[in-house]
């Protein structure tokens, strides 16, 4: 009899748990969206505004506030937000209070192309449109813009961004031709003929040695061109 009594207790407990789960699930599905929040993650939240995201959601879904949660497909909203060319990634979720949160990571430009068409080159080597909300302070890329030369420009920019001195001082990359790249510096009158993108580490190592010595000797203003095109050499042309 005791076994039978224990069995009945277990059955009652199981039914109670199922009932509570079903009630909770029903209440969750019946709950409506309380508030809507747009959050930009990281320190690069400059090119897309909260208003623009809200406008995008409104255009495609109408007003989401007070709408039943079960009517909202979070994956679909994420895909919509990520379709914006300023967005790198997005995550959309509900809080326990019924708030709809959209977290956005924006793309990061590392160069700006000034050619027949104008656009940014982002930190993944992809084209990124200019923004009316913010103008990035990044090196300007000019000259003969091709697919290959942009790939090389991206390699150069990636290297520059890993070095504090270069990142602060290189303001431009001029493409004379594929495999012939010229750097412009913020505070100096000379230009640096880099050549191609092979052996960048060796080229910049030689350049930094030259720069340190010329700065110490106070002769930087005497040079018009500094060439790194030749193996393990820095060839300078005076003004």
- The answer to whether residue 120 is domain-embedded is yes
In a shared domain, residues 96 and 116:
no
| Pairing verdict, β 100-106 and 109-114 | unpaired
Other CB atoms within 10 Å distance of the CB of residue 37: 11
Residues 75 and 147 in one domain: no
- The rounded distance, in Å, linking the Cα atoms of 113 and 173 is 9
- How high is the pLDDT of residue 15? 59
What rounded mean pLDDT belongs to the chain? Answer: 87
**Residue 136 pairs with which residues in a beta bridge?**
none
Tracing tokens 């080597």 back to the chain, one arrives at 125
Q: Are residues 119 and 166 in the same domain?
A: yes
Q: Residues 128, 80: one domain?
A: no
Q: Which of 82, 106, 130 represents a domain boundary (last residue)?
A: 106
Pairing of strands 140-143, 87-94: unpaired
* 139-178 per-position pLDDT tens digit: 999 999 999 999 999 999 999 999 999 999 999 999 998 8
Q: How confident is the model at residue 2 (pLDDT cuts 50, 70, 90)?
A: low
Output 120 or 6, whichever has higher pLDDT. Answer: 120
State the distance between the two ends of the chain, measured CA to CA, in whole angstroms. Answer: 108
Shared domain check, 60 and 164:
no
Structural domain boundaries enclosing 138: 109-238
| In a domain? residue 234 | yes
The Cα angle at residue 233 between residues 227 and 235, in degrees rounded to 5: 40
Tell whether 5 is covered by a domain. no
HSE at residue 41, side-chain half, CA atoms within 13 A, is 11
Tokens standing for residue 141: 């890329």
Residue 42 has pLDDT above 90, yes or no: no
Q: Is residue 10 part of a domain?
A: no
Condensed to tens digits (0 to 9), the pLDDT of residues 200-211 reads 999 999 999 999
- 3 domain residue, yes or no: no
What is the rounded distance in angstroms from the CA atom of residue 162 to the CA atom of residue 65?
44
Q: How many CB atoms lie within 10 A of CB 175?
A: 22
- Same-domain check for residues 47 and 128: no
Strand 127-128, strand 140-143: pairing: unpaired
- Co-location of 176 and 196 in the same domain: yes
Cα–Cα distances in angstroms (integers) from residue 212 to residues 41, 45, 177, in the given order: 39, 36, 29
Provide the pLDDT for residue 233.
87
Same domain? 143 vs 84:
no
Compute the average pLDDT of residues 92-114.
Answer: 94
Spatial separation of the C-alpha atoms in residues 75 and 183, rounded to whole Å = 44
Q: Does 216 share its domain with 127?
A: yes
Of 63, 84, 106, the one marking the end of a domain is 106
Q: What is the pLDDT of residues 167-190, one digit of tens each?
A: 999 999 999 988 899 999 988 889
* Any domain includes 18: no
Q: Are 109 and 137 in contact (CB under 8 A)?
A: no
Burial of 199 (0-12, 13-18, 19+ CB in 10 A): middle
* Domain tally, the chain: 2
Phi/psi at 236 (nearest 5 deg)? -110, 145
CA 224 → CA 168, 174, 205, 211, distances in Å? 20, 15, 20, 13
Burial of residue 225, with CB atoms counted within 10 A of its CB: 0-12 exposed, 13-18 middle, 19 or more buried: middle
Q: What CATH number does the domain containing 50 carry?
A: 3.10.20.310
Looking at 58, 78, 106, which one is the last position of a domain? Answer: 106
My answer on whether 115 and 73 are in the same domain is no
Same domain, 116 and 94: no
Neighbours of 45 (CB within 10 A): 16
Q: For residue 2, is it within any domain?
A: no
Tell whether 28 is covered by a domain.
Answer: no
Residues 114 and 159 placed together within one structural domain of the fold = yes
Query: Residue 190 sits in a domain of what CATH number?
Result: 3.40.50.11690
């Amino acid at each position: 009899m005791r076994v039978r009594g224990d069995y009945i207790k277990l059955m009652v407990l199981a039914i109670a748990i199922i009932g509570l789960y079903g009630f909770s699930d029903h209440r969750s599905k019946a709950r409506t969206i309380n508030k809507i929040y747009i959050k930009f993650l990281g320190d690069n939240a400059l090119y897309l505004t909260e208003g623009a995201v809200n406008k995008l959601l409104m255009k495609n879904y109408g007003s989401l506030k007070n709408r039943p949660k079960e009517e909202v497909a979070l994956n679909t909203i994420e895909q919509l937000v990520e379709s914006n060319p300023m967005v790198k990634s997005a995550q959309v979720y509900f809080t326990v209070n019924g708030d709809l949160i959209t977290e956005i990571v924006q793309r990061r430009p590392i160069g700006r192309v000034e050619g027949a068409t104008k656009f940014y080159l982002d930190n993944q080597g992809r084209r990124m449109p200019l923004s009316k909300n913010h103008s990035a302070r990044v090196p300007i890329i000019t000259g003969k813009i091709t697919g290959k030369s942009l790939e090389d420009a991206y390699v150069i920019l990636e290297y520059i961004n890993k070095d504090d001195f270069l990142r602060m001082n290189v303001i431009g990359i001029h493409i004379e031709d594929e495999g012939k790249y010229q750097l412009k510096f913020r505070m100096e009158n000379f230009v640096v003929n880099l050549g191609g993108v092979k052996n960048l580490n060796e080229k910049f190592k030689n350049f930094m040695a030259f720069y340190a010595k010329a700065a110490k000797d106070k002769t930087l203003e005497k040079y018009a061109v500094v060439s790194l095109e030749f193996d393990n050499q820095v060839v300078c042309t005076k003004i």
